Amino acid sequence: MIKIGIIGGTGYTAGELIRLMIHHPKIDIQNIVSKSHPGKLIHLVHQDLLGEMKNKKFSCDLNKKIDVVFLCSGHDQSKKELNNISENIKVIDLSQDFRMEIKSVFNNRNFIYGLPELQKEKIKKSNNIANPGCFATAILLGILPLIKNQLLKKDIHISAITGSTGSGRKLSDTNHFSLRNNNISVYKIFQHQHLQEIEQTIHKVQKNFYSKIYFVPYRGNFSRGIITTLYTHSFFSLEKNQEIYKEYYKNHPFVKISDINIDIKQVINTNKCILHLLKEENQLIVISIIDNLIKGASGQAIQNMNLMFDLDETCGLKLKSVRF
Structure-derived torsion over alpha carbons of residues 22, 23, 28, 31, reported in degrees to the nearest 10: -10
Q: Is the dihedral of CA 308, 195, 169, 62 positive or negative?
A: positive
Pure H helices in the chain: 12-21, 42-45, 78-82, 116-125, 134-148, 177-180, 194-205, 238-248, 299-308
134 is annotated as an active-site residue: yes
- 21, 39, 103: which is closest to 319 by C-alpha? 21
Q: What is the CA radius of gyration of the chain?
A: 19
Phi–psi pair at 57, nearest 5 degrees: -115, 160
Asked whether 100 and 63 are in contact (CB, 8 A), the reply is no
Asked whether 242 and 277 are in contact (CB, 8 A), the reply is yes
C-alpha distances in Å from residue 144, one per residue of 61, 118, 284:
40, 7, 14
Listed in sequence order, the residues at least 6 apart from 102 whose beta carbon sits closer than 8 Å to its beta carbon are none
Asked whether 224 and 287 are in contact (CB, 8 A), the reply is no
Catalytic member of 72, 134, 273, 315: 134
- 295, 113, 271, 274: which is closest to 199 by C-alpha? 113
Q: Known catalytic residues?
A: 134
